[in-house]
Amino acid sequence: MGEHPDSALVRRGYEAFNTGDMDTLATMMMADCTFHAPGSSQVSGHHKGRDNVLGLFRKLFELSGGSMRTDLESVCVDGRGHAVAAHKWYAERGDRGIEMKGALFFTIVGGKMADIDECVEDIDEIDAFWGTAE
Total domains in the chain come to 1
Q: What is the band of 134 on the pLDDT scale with cuts at 50, 70, 90?
A: low
CA angle, 88 as apex, 47 and 112 as ends, to 5°?
A: 45
At residue 72, the pLDDT reads: 98
Q: Tell me whether residue 127 is in a domain.
A: no
Tell me the per-residue pLDDT of 76-122, one tens digit each, with 9 for 90 and over: 999 999 999 999 999 999 999 999 999 999 999 999 999 999 999 99
Tell me the per-residue pLDDT of 4-34, one tens digit each, with 9 for 90 and over: 999 999 999 999 999 999 999 999 999 999 9
Query: CATH number for the domain including 65?
Result: 3.10.450.50
At residue 58, the pLDDT reads: 97
Q: Is 39 left (phi over 0), alpha (psi -120 to 50) or beta?
A: left
Q: From CA 73, how far away is CA 75, in angstroms rounded?
A: 7
Q: Tell me whether residue 129 is in a domain.
A: no
The residue range of the domain holding 12 is 5-121
Q: Tell me whether residue 40 is in a domain.
A: yes
At residue 2, the pLDDT reads: 85
Confidence check: pLDDT of 133 > 80: no
Q: Tell me whether residue 65 is in a domain.
A: yes
CA angle, 24 as apex, 22 and 28 as ends, to 5°?
A: 110
Task: Please give the average per-residue pLDDT across 36-54, as a whole number.
Answer: 97
Q: Tell me whether residue 15 is in a domain.
A: yes
At residue 132, the pLDDT reads: 87
Q: From CA 130, how far away is CA 117, in angstroms rounded?
A: 18
Confidence check: pLDDT of 125 > 80: yes
